[in-house]
Amino acid sequence: MDDKDDINRLYDLEYGDGPELIARFAGVFGGAVLLFLYTGWSAALLWGGGFAVSHLAYFLFLKSRIRSDPNCITSRDSRVASTLFLLVLASFLWMPTVLICQPDQALAVVGAALVGCILFFLVRRSDTSRFMVAGQIAVVGVTLLAVITILVPRFDNALAQIGVVASFLALLGYFAHAVRLARRQRLTAEDSARRASQVQKLAAVGQLAGGVAHDFNNKLTAILGSFELLREIDDPDEREAILNTGHMAALEAARTVKHLLVYARKEPMVPVLLNCATLLDEVILRTRGIVTGMIEVDVRRTRDALFVLADRNQLLMGLTNLVVNAVDAMPDGGTLVLGAETITPEKPVALADGTFLATVPHVALIVEDTGSGIPARLLPQVVEPFFTTKPVGKGTGLGLSVVMGMAREFGGGLGITSSPKGTRVVIYLPHRTSENATFAEGDRPHR
């Protein structure tokens, strides 16, 4: 696991489960208030406040790292994050330690229960960092040592003292074994996932190679056939028609190569600041001969000018491909919606490739149709290279793959939703202004 993934995992572990997070904070703060009312200790409120401050520092650090350039994240950031979490852990555990040592039996039971809760929580986390695991064992060990130091002198019987020490040492030992075992199981699971991913990649390479071979074989057959016919045909008009056929096949082959280069992010791209309203107008002009009279075009623009940073030709090609797909989905007519709008997701938006859109302002370039939709079983496959439901010669199956690769190149992504009432495809790109025509922190494309 690289450092960026480790930071994301730490954030998800602590703040990914909303209901559990709310219950945890409500328990601590509610407990602090009840403890204050029961004992009158001002330290109870200090406990709740200190826990909140340490959590805030941990949250802000993780959030700042998540939004930063992945290339700038180092193992030092992971170590700092782990240290901040251990401070959060210590800020919680000191009060249960105090409660366990109280003569009031109710307080002692509450303290023991709180320690039990945190031990279960730590084992469930299954942290993989050796530093984090060792730190957790150390913090819990210091807590139990403090309890032993305070409680043991209260017992006059030597056997009782030995029993208390032995039981607390056993608790620490089993806890240390549990977190180490959880770490080992998670590492094994991650290694298995990586191996499975490699198998899937090899299968994808095989599928890609097979698709390229099949597509190119069709094009080469047309080109070679044209050359063979030229040797036998003397009529100038027929020769011209044969040359045109071969030329079109060669252009189709070149277009396939171009699509592959874009998908593999090898095609040189020139990012420029683009006005989305102008882009939509150009797409309408390009597809004027494709959109039939049975299809109503609904263009939706915002009053404010929207800008994105992208390669003009590639983005136009992508939008054109989406319009062609939408038209093909409505052979009997319907409504084609083209639009551009700004969104700022409150939570990550699921994308077609299984990743999530960052929670920063984006422009959504929308192409929507009222066709019969994509069957749910096929939806995960439509972005795979060379996957197509169109007849032979009507499509290579690279269109959506190319659009997705282009969107990822410029820090965005591709979203697809479909139902029997139609399909909505959205190209998400980071929102730009004329003063901010560079890659913002956190959305720089990766190679």
Could you tell me which of 92, 84, 184 has the C-alpha nearest to residue 130? 184
Per-residue buried b or exposed e for 117-131, using 16+ beta carbons within 10 Å of the residue's own CB: ebbeebbebbbbbee
Contact call for residues 432 and 273 (beta carbons, < 8 A) = yes
Residues 6+ apart with CB under 8 A from 289: none
Residues 6+ apart with CB under 8 A from 341: 300, 302, 306, 363, 364, 366
Matching residue, tokens 């208390």: 164
| pLDDT given at position 442 | 39
How far is it, in rounded angstroms, from Cα 153 to Cα 163? 13
| pLDDT given at position 141 | 94
pTM of the shown model? 0.54
| pLDDT given at position 426 | 93
CA angle 427, 412, 251 (to 5 degrees): 60
3-class DSSP assignment, residue 376: coil
How far is it, in rounded angstroms, from Cα 373 to Cα 326? 10
| pLDDT given at position 444 | 42
Going along the chain from its start, the domains and CATH numbers come out as 3-154 (no CATH), 271-430 (3.30.565.10)
Q: What is the pLDDT along the chain (447 residues), one digit of tens a residue?
A: 567 778 888 888 888 778 888 988 999 999 999 999 999 999 999 999 999 999 999 999 988 888 776 667 888 888 999 999 999 999 999 999 999 999 999 999 999 999 999 999 999 888 888 899 999 999 999 999 999 999 999 988 999 999 999 999 999 999 999 999 999 998 888 788 777 766 666 565 665 566 666 667 777 887 888 888 888 888 888 888 888 888 877 877 776 676 666 655 555 677 889 999 999 999 988 888 788 788 999 998 888 889 998 888 888 888 988 898 898 889 888 999 999 999 888 777 888 888 888 778 899 999 999 998 888 888 777 777 666 655 544 455 556 777 887 888 888 889 999 998 899 999 999 998 765 554 443 344 433
